[in-house]
Structure 1
Amino acid sequence: MARYTIIVDRMSDWKWPMEGLNLMTAETFLTQTGKARNQTTRVINLCRNYKYLSAGYYCSLLAEARGQIPMPTVADVLILQEKNQYSDSLPELDAILNKTVKRLTEPPEGTFQLTVLFGRATDSRFKKLADVCFDIFRYPAMRLEIRFGSRWKIHTIRPLGLHQIQEEEGPIFKEALLSYTRLRKQPSGERPPALYSLAILVEPEEALPPSDQAALDRFIRIGQSMRMEVEIITRKDYRRIPEFDALFIRTNTNINHYTYEFARKAEQEGLAVIDDPSSILHCTNKVYLHEILETHKIPAPRSRTINRANFGPELVAELERDMGYPIILKIPDGSFSRGMYKAENAEQVLRHGAELLEHSRLILAQEFVYTKFDWRVGLLRGEPLYVCQYMMSGKHWQIVNHKADGSFRQGSFKTFAVDEAPAQVIRVAKQAAALMGDGLYGVDVKETEKGILVIEVNDNPSLDHGVEDKVIKDTLYRSILEEFIRRIETRH
């Protein structure tokens, strides 16, 4: 089944290969009934006219009504109808335009036009301008009229119909279309073409990435066997997000971080996303976690939210009375044992608390509960996938011991089959993960004399070869990829 439907007014407008595409006229698309309406999830609307209440307008409108993802969307259709609708975006584009022209050895001499086809400029010197223009206005084909006064300015941006693409622009259109839809001609004798595409976002220089290279290689290899093309991307590939069916974030996440922007962008573009924006928002904030666990009566260490406004000796005395020493102080968005202190007395609580409160209005104080290890239960869509014990780093109270010189030392681990772990650990982990969503989570649990206590719910749990996959091997990677495929197909 083709992943993309291409809509044209007349079949004669189409002059390129059709392999891998579902090509139909606007009339056919608008009059579809039953299951035929939902055969593909992505629709590229290449009608000649997008004016309000035209066939082009209705193709995008009905695609949205059918749960499909059209390009352009109805919002995009309307925004290019009148210049006053898109004029707020022009200063950013004009700045890029003028910066580009300044660098040219042979700049334009007067008014000129630039055609942008799926984000690709017909004049390669204006690549950055085309990238940003396509990111703002999601049209398959646009033409910019550029004029010079006191400085270069974009006078108008108009959508193009296929019949307006000039003959010399045809090869660029074909290449841009193939790149955007990720279609390539399949050489004879090779494996069948991929049905799905997954981008895995990584940070190459990250000291403690959630997945090592060996694990990433297994996602790629196993994806091929499942007809899923898996590609490793980095933060520079932000504008390529719409090219994929799904996004898997395998770098450490945070709200004030590019990973959150990637997740939001992917969700807006209709991709299946793990970690989704909601999971990042909630799991990365320990104050939120404390409140929601307490609200739903999930067992956790005694904790208290500290407000900068009332932090002082009186509050410290209350903490001492309620929790005793040592007391753990946590900044809400810390990870991998960072952003927390163990305070042994009132002076340390005041000093470390004041330091953390410089960065966040609220922090968390928590009773110290020492165990030789934390249970980590990895859950996918609410079901346990793997179970590990993460040991505390040698002669240290955390799993990761961060040194003053920037180095770190991690504790060892043990991996178990799910049915080998204590039933209570699994039960409480499932309850905690369910509060966050149906994604991929790592729930950290302590097994104490007082019972099971939830420490954290991680939206971006570690998946390293030889650790989390030690028991179930390739099933770990296959299960996650199967979940992505399920989510992609659910969008059809």
Structure 2
Amino acid sequence: MQRLIVTENPEKWTLNVEGVQIVSPSDYINDEEYAKQKNVKVINLCKSYQYQSEGYYISLLAEARGHKSLPVTSTLMDFKLPNLAREDAQDFDKLIQDVLDVATKEDKIEFNIYLGTNNNQALSRISQLMFNLFQMPIQKASFIKKDKWQLQSLKPLNLKDLSDAEREELMESLKLFLTGKKIVRKNYKRKKYDLAILVNQDDPNPPSDSKALQKFVKAADKVGFSTEFITKADYGKLTQFDALFIRETTNVNHHTFRFARRAEYEGLAVIDDSNSILKCTNKVYLNELLAANNIPTPKSVIIQKNRHEAIDLEFPYVLKQPDGAFSKGVKKVKNKEEQETLLKEFFQQTELMIAQEFMPTSFDWRVGILGGEVIYVCKYFMAKNHWQIIDWKSKNKDRLGDSETFPVHMAPKNLIAISLKATKLIGNGLYGVDVKEVDGKFYIVEINDNPSIESGIEDEVDNMDLYEKIMSHMMKIVLSH
């Protein structure tokens, strides 16, 4: 992605970052070269963002030209509504209290934020938070403490407002912002397109292990992406990229969904897209969708809170939390007593549940599908002495069952057919379909929007080809935008 910094007096700048050009407002407005360019990121550092000023029009023109702008014009307008900043800050009240109680002994604090950073490490988390909420390149935040810390004001700053020392701090933050602090290779030539891979080091069961992630990086490089790993703290950096690949367990009421939505709004190619997250992470929705389209599933019943008599299933059966992941929200119910205990527990978080016929099998099929094509087929065997693939109660190494991966052409045709039919109901993204086989018949158990792709398991047959298929698909989405 071509990066432009638009600011007055570009000849006075000494910033030297590959792929970054510094131009004047006049050049950006009048030079047809910039008007015709595609795949451009504009960082607007003009001396004023006032309505109908040059700075205002730089952001407006950038958006009209299909360029990614920082800030966008809607953010400029947001800063005319000071209460909006204070209301948003209330959503992160605990973080604000914890950080500022440590950062200062005074009852008032003011500090500048440069692209989400501040040279005072104690204030770095709040700086990132404020930039994520309001993506202005330079901001001044003021907090006062009465009974507790409150945001008094948040206002944009311009270059003319900065001292020489503050300009130096801005320059360091710009270099960090433009080059990426988590670029995965030190010696590389930046590609035309930039890919962000969203990960979470604290995720106990991430969809891809570290080896698989490095294979994704290698495949991305081959198809034409520069790659950076990002975390939930990097929400404000999304506009730097052309594509977002989520390799963190997804959910709707979660930052992964917000990342997907924001990336889509900014025109990035996204896997997993927000629509797939919304549909796949809710088992109540999936149950109704599959039933309405006559796709075989284990016998299932939707249970409403305080309507337990609706459960018309023999013991044992399986009780499913609507938005559980990695089988964590799935419990086997053996009798009436267990039923009442588990329902009481689950109904504290949801109004609806799924009860499903228990189909004991020694393994589950997993069919990986991307863009309407099957890319891998696995058998996941049950954990030792357990009815699920993962035995969450076990602390032993064998808590996870074995796996076996098959060439796609060797998989049962009916398995492939039912999996493709099911995912077409969701979308055109990356899915993992869990299927039970009983007496030669296949039953859809779940469709996962964020399927596991781990080194030595799903890639056992195709190895690097699997990763390149996924990255090539991502590049096709980028080029189609």
Normalization by structure 1: what TM-score?
0.82
Matches within 5 A, 1:256-295: 256-268=253-265, 270-295=267-292
Distance 1:349 1:100 in 2: 44
Q: Of the candidates 143, 166, 169, which is equivalent to residue 169 of structure 1? A: 166
The equivalent residue for 2:370 is 380
**Cα separation, partners in 2 of 1:364 and 1:450, compared to 1, 3 Å:** farther
Distance change (3 Å), C-alpha of 1:297 and 1:16: same
Letter aligned with residue 476 of structure 2: R
1:68 matched to which residue of 2?
Answer: 67
Aligned to 1:365: 355
CA distance in 2, matches of 1:370, 1:12: 72
| Cα offset, 1:29, TM superposition | 3.5
Query: Deviations 1:222-268 (Å, cap 9, x if unpaired)?
Result: 44445534344445555555554443333323334444444445445
**Residues in 2 aligned to 1:243 and 1:167: alpha-carbon distance in whole angstroms:** 27
**Counterpart-to-counterpart distance in 2, 1:190 and 1:80:** 40
Task: Report Cα offsets for 1:326-357 as digits up to 9, x if no partner.
Answer: 43222212233333333455565455444433
2:77 aligned partner: 78
Please, which of 327, 330, 335 is the counterpart of residue 340 of structure 1? 330
One-letter amino acid of the structure 1 residue matched with residue 57 of structure 2: Y
Compute the displacement of 1:372 (Å): 3.3
Contact kept in structure 2, 1:76 and 1:137, CA below 8 Å: yes
Q: Are positions 1:425 and 2:415 aligned together?
A: yes
In the TM superposition, what is the alpha-carbon distance from 1:122 to its structure 2 partner? 5.9
Q: Do residues 182 (structure 1) and 172 (structure 2) align?
A: no
Q: Distance in 2 between matches of 1:341 and 1:155?
A: 48
Q: Quote the residue 1:215 is aligned against.
A: 212
Match of 2:441 in 1: 451
> Bigger shift: 141-150 or 354-363?
141-150
Structure 1 stretches lacking a partner, 5+ long: none
Match of 1:329 among 281, 301, 319: 319
After superposition, the C-alpha distances for 1:201-228 in whole angstroms (9 at most, x for unaligned) are: 3443544332222212322344444553
Structure 1 residues 448 and 30: CA distance shift in structure 2, 3 A: farther
The 1:476/1:347 distance shift into structure 2, 3 A limit, reads same
* CA 1:406–1:459: 2 relative to 1, 3 Å: farther
Report if aligned partners of 2:28, 2:34 keep a CA contact under 8 Å in 1.
Answer: no
Residue in structure 2 matching 1:130, options 127, 130, 138: 127
Confirm or deny: 8 A CA contact 1:198 1:244 kept in the other structure: yes
The match for 1:487 is: 477
Tell me by how many angstroms 1:158 deviates: 4.1
Count the aligned residue pairs.
478
Task: Provide the aligned C-alpha RMSD in A.
Answer: 3.9
Q: Amino acid of the residue matched to residue 445 of structure 1? A: V
Greater Cα radius of gyration, structure 1 or 2 = 1
Q: Measure the CA separation in 2 of the matches of 1:403 and 1:143.
A: 49
Q: How does 1:31-42 map to 2 (within 5 A)?
A: 31=30, 36-42=35-41
Corresponding letter in the other structure for 2:244:
L
Residue identity opposite 1:460 in structure 2: N
Query: How far apart are residue 455 of structure 1 and its match?
Result: 1.1
Q: Distance in 2 between the 1:234 and 1:245 partners?
A: 16
Q: Distance in 1 between matches of 2:297 and 2:93?
A: 54
Q: Deviations over 1:413-453 (max 9, x none)?
A: 22112222122222221221222222211011233347332
Deviations 1:451-489 (A, max 9, x none): 332111011211111111011110111222223333344
1:290 Cα deviation from its structure 2 partner: 0.3
Equivalent position SS for 1:211: coil
Deviation at 1:296, TM superposition (A): 2.3
Contact 2:159/2:167 (8 A) holds in 1 = no
Partner residue, 2:249: 252
Structure 2 residue matching 1:172: 3-state secondary structure = helix
In 1, Cα distance between equivalents of 2:105 and 2:337: 67
Bigger drift between 123-132 and 284-293 goes to 123-132
Q: Please, which moves more after superposition, 346-355 or 99-108?
A: 99-108
Partner of 1:438: 428
3-state DSSP of counterpart to 2:459: coil
Pair 1:125–1:462, CA change in 2 (3 A): closer
Alpha-carbon shift at residue 409 of structure 1 (Å): 2.4
- Determine which of 453, 470, 475 is the counterpart of 1:463: 453
Task: Output the CA distance in 2 between the equivalents of 1:480 and 1:343.
Answer: 38
Q: Residues of 1 paired with 2:285 and 2:102: CA distance?
A: 49
Q: 1:374 to 1:46 in 2, by over 3 A?
A: same
Per mean C-alpha deviation after superposition, the further-off stretch among 208-217 and 145-154 is 145-154
**1:415/1:24 Cα in 2 relative to 1: closer, same or farther (>3 Å)?**
same
The answer for the alignment partner of 2:467 in structure 1 is: 477
Determine the C-alpha separation between the residues in 2 that align with 1:90 and 1:365. Answer: 40
Give the distance between the partners of 1:352 and 1:86, measured in 2 at CA.
Answer: 42
Q: TM-score, normalised by structure 2?
A: 0.83
Listed one character per residue, the Cα deviations across residues 67-95 of structure 1 (whole Å, up to 9, x for unaligned) are 33211111111122464664545778999
Structure 2: how far apart are the matches of 1:419 and 1:118?
50
Q: What residue identity is the alignment partner of 1:289?
A: L
Distance 2:307 2:4 in 1: 59
